[in-house]
Amino acid sequence: MRTRTKSLLLTGAAVFLASALPAPRSTGVLPGEFGIPPNPSGSFPACGACHDPNPNANGVVKVEITPQLLSVDAGGTVPVSARVTGGPGLGLGGFCMETSAGRFQAGTNTRTTPAGDAITHLDKFGNSWAFTYTAPNTPGVVRWTAAGQSVNADLAPTGDSFGFYGPNSGQPGVPLRLYVNAPAVGGFGAGCAGLDGHQPVLGASRSATIGASFDTELVSVFPGAFTFCALGDSATAFGTLPLPFDLAILGAPNCLVRCSHLFTQSAAAPGQGSGGGRAVFSWPLPNDPGLRGATLFFQAFVLDPAANSLGLAVSNGLKAQIQ
C-alpha cells in the first residue's frame, strides 16, 4: 500500500510539473509572444520556455543559418536558408532568429514580427526553411542570433531538444555577422570558415573617395588573429593566374583567391567572444580626379590553424568604385 501511494504521488508530481510548463507552440514563437521575454534567440529561456528547459537535453542540436551573401549592399535583399539537425533526429522542429538591423521577409513555412526584426517557423513538419532578408540603408555590422529546436512530436514539453546558433549550442548569444556596405561598395563571392565555423567578412562603411583614406573592415574572426588584406586591380586574373583560384591544391579547399595583389597590409584583430575579432585596413587614395570611376578589389586572409591544413581562412571579395 505504501509503495502504491508513493507511486501515485510521484505520478501526480510528474503530471503537475509537465502541466506547469507552457505547451509547445508548433507555430513558433516571436519576441514577446505567449509571455516569452524579448531576445529568445540569444538568451535563456529561449525554446526552453515551451519545450524541455535544458539545451541539448535529448541530443545535441545544431542550428545552421546560411545567407547567400555576408557582405551585402545597403538596402539589398539576400536569400537565406535555415536548418536544425540533431536532438530526437526525426526531422521535425522549429527556429527563431532576430536581427539587429534590417528586416526578414517570410518564405517557406515562416512568419515574422510586424517590423520584420524576427522570424520563426509556422509548423513543426520539417527542419529547414527558406526566406529573405533586406539590409538596412545604414552601413556597418549587422548581427543575427538564432535558436532552434528538434522535437519528438508527442505534444508534450519534454523529450525535445533546443540549442543556440554557434559553436556550442548550449551557450547563448553568439551572433552571425553580416556587413552592410557603403554606396558604390559591394561584396562578391564567399569566403571559407575558420575557428568556430565563422566565415571572415570584409566590408566598408564609407565609399572610396579621392583624396581620402578608404577603410576596409574585417569582422567575424577569432580575437587576436593575425590578418592581412590585399588590394588589387582585377578579379579575373592575378598575373597569369586566372581568378578565382581555389587553394585546395595547397590544403585549403573551397578557399578562393578572388583578386590580384598589388598591395597588402597586415593587422591584428582585437575583440572578445566567438568570432568577435575585428581588423581595419586603411588605404589612402590620391587626390587625382582621373581615378574617379576606377574599381579597386580587396580580399582579407586570416592565419587560422583550425581552418584547414594550410592554416588559412579567407573572406569574401570586395569591390569599390572610386568616387
**Which element (helix H / strand E) includes 318?**
strand 312-321
Please report, for the chain, the start and end positions of each structural domain, with discontinuous segments joined by +.
Answer: 23-176, 182-321
**Of the candidate ranges 12-26, 213-227, 253-267, the one whose mean pLDDT is the lowest:** 12-26
Q: What is the pLDDT of residues 199-234, one digit of tens each?
A: 999 999 999 999 999 999 999 999 999 999 999 999
In the block, cell 526525426 appears at 90
Between 114 and 153, residue with greater pLDDT = 114
**Of the candidate ranges 8-17, 237-246, 273-282, the one whose mean pLDDT is the lowest:** 8-17
Angstrom distance (rounded) from CA 153 to CA 11: 22
Rg (CA), the chain: 23
Q: How large a percentage of the chain has pLDDT more than 90?
A: 85
Integer angstrom CA distances of residue 72 from 38, 77, 128, 141, 199 = 27, 8, 23, 10, 14
pLDDT at 198 over 60: yes
229 CB-contact burial (10 Å; exposed 0-12 / middle 13-18 / buried 19+): buried
What is the reported pLDDT for 25? 61
Write down the CATH number for the domain with range 182-321.
Answer: 2.20.130.20
Closest to 218 (Cα-Cα) out of 145, 146, 275: 275
pTM for this predicted structure:
0.91
Whether CATH 1.10.10.10 fits 23-176: no
